[in-house]
A = this chain, B = another copy of it.
Amino acid sequence: MTDRIRLHYLMHIELADAEALAEKILIEQSVETPLDVLSDDIKEKILGRIELLEELSDRAGYCRVVFSFSAANVGESFNQLLNLCFGNVSMYPGVRLLDIELPESVLSHFQGPRFGIQGVRQALGVYQRPLLATALKPKGESDAYFADLAYAFASGGGDIIKDDQNLIANFSAFQSRTTACQQALQRAADDSASRCLYFPYIASKYEELERHFAWLKELGLKGVLLSPLIMGLDHARGLAQQYDLIYMAHPAFSGSFSIQASHGMSAELLYGYLYRLAGVDISVFPNAGGRFSFSQLETAAISQRLRAPLTGIAAALPCPAGGMTYADLPDMGLTYGADSVFLLGGSLLQHNADSKKSTADFKAKILEQFDEELVAQEKSVKAVSSCEIGDSAAQAFLEYLPAVDFDWQDRPAILYKKDQTLPFTGVKRIELIGKQDEACCFDLRYFEIEAGGYSSLERHQHSHVIIGARGRGKVLVAEKNYYLSAHDVIYIKPNTAHQIHNHEDKPLGFYCIVDRNRDQAESI
């Protein structure tokens, strides 16, 4: 890829008018000047290009446009990047920023999370399972009340306490409350060898930030809670880099960007990618099904973006929150996996009058799904990749899977798709790599379609890479049909309808490689 930034937008407009709007955006986001006064040189070097413009096949009246801009439009600054992506165009109705792709020349200016998943785990000495968090509530209670709550949560086995965003921003109140809570955690550590971290929220005015941060260091705290959209993304990034604290981000003030169907920016981009560029180690966002209205697809995508490989940038922890209850934990475990932080706030208080007991129940619920390994592991903080993988080094993988006539020992064939409502026939699937949390960001599966069988006609956001293994079949990709024989490779790009037929009289076998974190297929 050349040294260009690619920006993806959704435009709520008919295709006939889409090109004119796309050109307006191009100008707005780069030269901001009528084209007729531009030199050819500026047009060539600064003005962006339209790389793709297409109607959405599944959503009438919407188009998707991809621009590329020279990296010179951004320089070294996050603020300039935000301006390029969503500066003036933020004032265009019906335009939503979906994604940003940065070349390494730009990405290299970002340090990303200081701690990342591994760093946070090292600080806690907890591996293999999601981390338990709570928030100190309600506002207005006494220091002693919060200290008791912190003590109970730590004694019950909790990992992280965020002192919520309604902590009063007055320095002496801040000192007294944080001291009380931290001393309570110290007592809990002495009494029960707990190792719970306390992250107070800093919301003081600009002039007092320094002494608030300095106070956290003086108190020996390991982390802080900030609201990047209130403080400014780059401001919060800079402070987090400066003070060597685990940085938990709160989504306050961000909803106008993320919850509009055809404006703002995608939730995964904001809470997953931009927060990670802003150095966030733990990104708190509203889980689907809670007090807020994010969809499961959105929250899964946020989590994927926090943990997906990104050159030189550590993976961060998703923290789905916002009215979660004990009953939600099993689903959250399935959706988010081990490398997550689960936060119970109000429901922890409601669960049992004894918060230590509430926390112990919280932890027991987590341990029903996950094994805990408490031995500290020496790993680089800047892991190359995590995706949705757990901590793979610890697990007993099958390293060798010898094939006997397209059969792999310890890898049983299973029915194609759990969802039996999809139309298909005569397809079996073998999960070769992925289900044991191998340390890669893709899954390798082998499929076999019996004579006359076919897979479902489907479409999804993730791509497929297919390698023919045995037999011969036909692969429908959008409007085209391809033959698939052994060692033929087919790449099916995102959002492209496809179906595989075995029209011959022998089994059709093929490998299919997909991203580990992917969306659900949608049947057509």
On whether the beta carbons of A393 and B255 are closer than 8 Å, the reply is: no
- Copies of this chain in its oligomeric complex: 2
Chain B residues with CB under 8 A of A64: 391
With A256-B263, A384-B517 as contacts: A444 and B432 at CB distance below 8 Å: no
Chain B residues with CB under 8 A of A457: none
Among A134-142, A177-185, A336-344, A415-423, the one that faces the other chain is A134-142
- Complex: how many Å from CA A309 to CA B426? 32
On whether the beta carbons of B468 and A403 are closer than 8 Å, the reply is: yes
Chain B residues with CB under 8 A of A66: 391, 393-394
On whether the beta carbons of A400 and B490 are closer than 8 Å, the reply is: yes
Most buried by B among A263, A345, A442, A519: A442
Known: A37-B138, A46-B140. 17 other contacts (CB 8 A): A34-B347, A42-B139, A73-B166, A83-B166, A87-B252, A91-B259, A205-B238, A256-B263, A311-B517, A385-B518, A401-B489, A403-B468, A403-B487, A403-B489, A406-B487, A441-B516, A444-B489
With A139-B32, A232-B232, A489-B433 as contacts: A37 and B349 at CB distance below 8 Å: yes
Residue A36 lies at the interface, judged by CB distance under 8 Å to chain B? yes
- Give 7 nearest A-B pairs by CB, closest first: A206-B238, A232-B232, A90-B255, A52-B394, A91-B255, A403-B487, A87-B252
On whether the beta carbons of B79 and A401 are closer than 8 Å, the reply is: no
Specify the chain B residue showing the minimal Cβ separation from A30: B139
Chain B residues with CB under 8 A of A294: 91
- Complex: how many Å from CA A1 to CA B392? 12
Chain B residues with CB under 8 A of A235: 206, 231-232, 235
Residue A369 lies at the interface, judged by CB distance under 8 Å to chain B? no
Number of interface residues of A (CB under 8 A): 164
On whether the beta carbons of A482 and B392 are closer than 8 Å, the reply is: no
Min Cβ gap A277→B in Å is: 12
Chain B residues with CB under 8 A of A259: 90-91, 93, 263
Min Cβ gap A506→B in Å is: 16
On whether the beta carbons of B32 and A91 are closer than 8 Å, the reply is: no
Residue A220 lies at the interface, judged by CB distance under 8 Å to chain B? no
13 residue pairs bridging A and B, Cβ less than 8 Å apart: A32-B135, A76-B169, A80-B168, A80-B169, A83-B253, A92-B255, A206-B239, A207-B241, A230-B233, A308-B441, A309-B516, A384-B515, A385-B518
Chain B residues with CB under 8 A of A256: 86, 90, 256-257, 260, 263-265
On whether the beta carbons of A75 and B393 are closer than 8 Å, the reply is: no
